[in-house]
Amino acid sequence: MGEPWALTPVSGQPLARLNSFGIGGAAGLFCQPTTRDELARLFEIIQTHQAPWFIIGKGTNLICKEEDFEGVLIRLAGEFEQVRFAGPMVTVGAGLTDTKLAVKARNQGLKGAEFLVTIPGSLGGAVFQNAGAHGLEMADLIESVECFEPNKGFFRLQKSEMALGYRCSRFQESGELVLFGKLRLEPGDKTQIQAHEKALLAQRKETQIWAHTFGSIFKNPKGQSAWALIDQAGLRGKQLGQVRISPKHANFAENLGGGRSRDLIELIKLVQSEVFKQTGFSLVLEAQQFPPE
């Protein structure tokens, strides 16, 4: 791009290494800012060159297409993976995994975050999606966030400003980056917290797959379960190429080895069409596609 970068970028980064489904092309440049200053400098350069950019978390709910992304792919690291405790208040970097957050909270004797052990993503992605499981969601914990927007800089938002709803938030439309979240937890007994986490993990292992998977694929229609509708349409285990609807959980897809994004996208369209035809319900995709259309 012509001038020195604040960071040392990786060129031609394979996207398959950055998402749980193991598919995708390559990113023009891949950068991992570790501080607010590095992030701000990075965006100064991006804007100078009018380069497209995209921020990625752990890639657990992202459909990476085979086409290359001729822009800057960003993953938050360093201070954005840290956590600080102040009584029941927890400040968490957007790059920290949900599982690590749950474990760190338990080690501090704080309960309320146990459900996060079953969500294989990062704090930033969890806020972005208002992720949830086992009857709880991020909206039940979050108090405020620190954000960054290229033309605005750093700023804070309170929970009431985030437009949190079922698997949605303002960040899905605003282009604002979530950098840190402040959560409110409750004091609890470490042994009981750990027992709760083990029970949730056991339930997940019994009902969901772990490796080379993508999901949940669809949001649950109001009053319905997406997996049950897919099951009702006879699509559990349905396969295109090396991609199939999981026989273990019908709202997850599996990469059987060498799966392609086009097969995943076609399978998603097939499921949506058949479920609507047989049940009358429209299934809405929960994930993002990358590069964006």
The catalytic residue positions are 167, 216, 286
**Are residues 18 and 59 in contact, defined by beta-carbon separation less than 8 angstroms?**
yes
**Are residues 33 and 74 in contact, defined by beta-carbon separation less than 8 angstroms?**
yes
| Distance in angstroms (rounded) separating the CA atoms of residues 138 and 169 | 11
11, burial (CB in 10 Å: exposed 0-12, middle 13-18, buried 19+): exposed
Q: Which residues of 193-229 are buried (b: 16+ CB within 10 A; e: fewer)?
A: beebbeebeeebeeebbeebbbbbbbbbbeeeebbeb
Nearest to 92, CA basis, from 31, 143, 149: 143
| Distance in angstroms (rounded) separating the CA atoms of residues 45 and 71 | 12
Quick one: which H or E segment has residue 208?
A: none
Q: Quick one: tokens of 14?
A: 């394979």
Quick one: which H or E segment has residue 36?
A: helix 36-48
| Distance in angstroms (rounded) separating the CA atoms of residues 117 and 103 | 8
Largest CA distance in the chain: 57
Given phi > 0 = left and psi -120 to 50 = alpha, else beta, which region is 234?
left
